[in-house]
Structure 1
Amino acid sequence: MATAFDRLGYGTYKLADGEECAAGVAHAIETGYRHVDTAQGYDNEASVGDGIDRSGVDRDDLFVATKLSTDNLSYDDAVETARASRDRLGVDSIDLLYVHWPINSYDPEETLPALDDLVDDGVIDRIGLSNFEPDQLDEAIDRLDHDVFAHQVECHPLLQQERLREYAVEDGHWLVAYSPIARNRVADVDALREVAAAQDATPAQVSLAWLLSKERVAPIPKAADHGHVEENWAAREIDLTDEQIARIDGLDRGERVVDFAEAPWN
């Protein structure tokens, strides 16, 4: 089991399977990242494992998360494919396994017991949920024998997820923020550009620093460009003022990057 959960993680969405992904993961780990996030649906788990091996960093110093695809949420499919993910990643156990979306084959009566049993069997260490609405979180948390460690949702200054962030604090789990710079839409926001100029930073770095200023929030920016990977990591050193945080708090537009008809909120 990894010894720690690093709040600033490295996302691998749309990193092509093969050299791009393996090199990206290895470079991120060499930069300092210790939390790596992937998913069955990204089709790159084996390359993430290759990148981990290439980095030379001890596996016990890393935190590796993946997600069950929406077609793999029956009891048998969840158990079988989680084991396959573990093998592709080349790890003894998966630090954190999420339900990627509570749609399609998701059935609380089948999916959640599978997650509990995967923990009991040592295939995974922690349970995560992703893209759940509050009532779905209520049901899952009530049904699960093990605690929910993290809930992963889109979260950034333009979609601040205040209700789900409060839920995370109340329940004691982490809110893991995907698309934390809104695919760089934040670069077009005047207030973020002005805060960035005052901080000698970029709007993307300011967005990550704002998320890191919030209780129990862990952003996982994705970047293929090595320079952007290093810039994102440097956001940890930005100390926003209370006034700057309050200004960013006022930017919430409920603006989603990831949205489709079957999403739980639609």
Structure 2
Amino acid sequence: MQRIVNRHGLDMPKLGLGTWPMLGDECTRAVTEALDLGYRHIDTAAAYNNEEAVGAAMAQSQVPREQIHVTSKVWWDRLNPEDMRASFDNSLRALRSDYVDLFLIHWPAQDWDLARTIDTLVALKEAGRARAIGVANFPLALVREVVEVMQAPLAAMQVEYHVALSQANLLDFARRHDMALIAYSPLARNKVSEMPAIQRIAARHDVPPTQVALKWLLDQAGVAAVPKASSRANQLANLASLELRLDDEDRALIAGMPKNQRLVSPAFAPCWDEA
């Protein structure tokens, strides 16, 4: 499976398994099956309440821990240094690991000491407990402040990204700073299956629309995707997207689609239009 490797210590398969909102035994079973099928990138978070289930799956898997990329995240209400370290320690205990491969700030807070938060994040990387660090759901202005002003060695950003939502500005920034962009909700919460342009491309290739939408992302340099897939059938279908070959006509159809359908914007979300 193709990987993203960058100078910030990141070494991550482009296709991962998203685990939200799976819990308990369902999550453990899904992660176990995914590892058996060849997935080596698992995405979780403290706020998902399933790190323990992910840890159980890794513990019972025959795949060595060092071959699995694990991303976890700290929630926006735990971003003062003491709470952040405690959340990180809890994540490691739940995952039954002494490190995570990528540790992200899950959402920016609205009233916080950004410098202290970033210093704490960087300290986790410097201690080797987080192999790489990054942010999720940060608007461009905030990412720019962290990377260009604070000079934090961010390896990745995770944002909602799919065929119906442009992230061109963030992607351009990520590439200029050798960062990965990880797409969550890459299938637009399965709405891609209802989009005429995607349906047309899927019919041409005789594949499900989800594979078209996923491959469009995975074909992009520096972009990874973490679709949630609880069933073996969906996990296999997502893996099969790697074999699909989109052509210029396909890409032109997708380029012509509206790109303003943001599906994830909770009350505590930042102002997305900050440039």
TM-score (norm 1): 0.95
2:100 equivalent among 82, 91, 94:
94
Specify the code of the residue in structure 2 equivalent to 1:25: V
Q: Which runs of 5+ in 2 are unaligned?
A: 1-8
How much identity, in percent, do the aligned residues show? 36
Provide the aligned length of Structure 1 versus Structure 2: 264
Look up the match of 2:85.
Answer: 79
Shift of 1:253: 3.0
How has the CA–CA distance of structure 1 residues 32 and 106 changed in structure 2, closer, same or farther, with 3 Å as cutoff?
Answer: farther
2:17 equivalent among 10, 16, 35:
10
Shift of 1:162: 1.1
Matched, 1:201 2:200: no
RMSD, aligned α-carbons: 1.6
Is the CA contact (8 Å cut-off) linking 1:152 and 1:177 kept in structure 2? yes
How has the CA–CA distance of structure 1 residues 39 and 15 changed in structure 2, closer, same or farther, with 3 Å as cutoff?
Answer: same
Specify the code of the residue in structure 1 equivalent to 2:21: K
1:31-87 residue CA offsets vs partner (Å, 9 max, x unmatched): 111110000000010110111122210111110000001111001111121122111
Paired with 1:126 and 1:3, the residues of 2 have a C-alpha distance of 6
Look up the match of 2:241.
Answer: 235
Paired with 1:55 and 1:124, the residues of 2 have a C-alpha distance of 22
Which consecutive segments of 4 or more residues in structure 1 shift more than 4 A? 143-146
Specify the code of the residue in structure 1 equivalent to 2:135: L
Shift of 1:247: 1.3
Shift of 1:104: 4.4
Paired with 1:104 and 1:54, the residues of 2 have a C-alpha distance of 40
Look up the match of 1:128.
Answer: 134
Look up the match of 1:214.
Answer: 220
Paired with 1:50 and 1:106, the residues of 2 have a C-alpha distance of 34
Specify the code of the residue in structure 2 equivalent to 1:12: T
Is the CA contact (8 Å cut-off) linking 2:146 and 2:152 kept in structure 1? no
Shift of 1:164: 1.0
Specify the code of the residue in structure 2 equivalent to 1:63: H
Shift of 1:243: 1.6
TM-score (norm 2): 0.92
Q: Which runs of 5+ in 1 are unaligned?
A: none
Matches within 5 A, 1:176-191: 176-191=182-197
Is the CA contact (8 Å cut-off) linking 1:70 and 1:100 kept in structure 2? yes
**Aligned partner of residue 196 in structure 1, secondary structure:** helix
Shift of 1:261: 3.3
